[in-house]
Amino acid sequence: MIVIFDWDGTLCDSVEAIVASMQAAAAELELPVPEPASVHEIVGLGLSQALGQLFPQLQETGRQQLAAAYSRHYAAPERAATPLFPGAMETLMALRGRGLELAVATGKSRRGLDRVLASLDLSAFFEATRCADETHSKPHPRMLQEILAERGKSPAEAIMVGDSEYDLAMAREAGVSSVGVSYGVHARERLAGHAPLAIIDELPQLLDLLP
């Protein structure tokens, strides 16, 4: 079995850093600064799709400038490293101890995911990873389909864990069971609309759901 995790808002406590970076980038380019709730709505999407939703008035050149500014602010040396959520590392280690494979399907860019995995000394920890800039963005099922093909797994041999509707919709489209986490960007009621196996309040509760 393979357990596939979203990154931001599920494993990594990075949502407020995303909000602050998006607001700083918008202010730098003299664009309307989005409210935190608006930024929460796009966490999980690829950056291009996220900017298109937040700033529909921008043309391609403007979106590229904003994307560069956002990435610069998010990766600024003075910004504190984004930590894993409490219990996340222990949960991942326990799953590995049970012989389960682990993967990540994220709206982050490849450069962004590789950077954060390296900072946490997790570069070789996951059997497979997929990022939004190298395949289709969520909620399209392609990320999961590619991970399953790479690892030789069927949809019945996988489970997706995420904090957003995009994660759970992607899983449903791929025929993969899902578990929602309530501490991320989308409310429990919205997650429940995608028929997850369960919605958990802390990541270690996942251990009670899996073999």
pLDDT tens for residues 123-158?
889 999 999 999 999 999 999 999 999 999 999 999
64 and 22 assigned to the same domain? yes
pLDDT of residue 76: 87
Total number of domains in the chain: 2
Query: φ and ψ at 33, to 5 degrees?
Result: -80, 120
Query: φ and ψ at 180, to 5 degrees?
Result: -95, 150
6 and 67 assigned to the same domain? no
Q: Is the pLDDT of residue 79 over 90?
A: no
pLDDT in tens, 156-210: 999 999 999 999 999 999 999 999 999 999 999 999 999 999 999 999 999 999 9
7 and 30 assigned to the same domain? no
Q: By residue range, what is the domain housing residue 120?
A: 2-13+82-208
Say if residues 193 and 203 touch (Cβ distance below 8 Å).
no
pLDDT of residue 81: 78
pLDDT of residue 77: 81
User: Please, which residues have CB within 8 angstroms of residue 18's CB and are 6 or more apart in sequence?
Assistant: 8, 39, 43, 74
* Residue 49, domain CATH: 1.10.150
pLDDT of residue 80: 76
pLDDT tier for residue 53 given thresholds of 50, 70 and 90: very high
Distance CA 148, CA 19 (A): 31
Phi-psi region of 152 (alpha: psi -120 to 50; beta: other; left: phi over 0): left
Q: What is the pTM of this model?
A: 0.93
119 and 67 assigned to the same domain? no
Helices and strands, number each (H, E), in the chain: 9, 6
pLDDT of residue 94: 97
pLDDT in tens, 3-25: 999 999 999 999 999 999 999 99
Nearest-Å Rg of the Cα atoms of the chain is 16
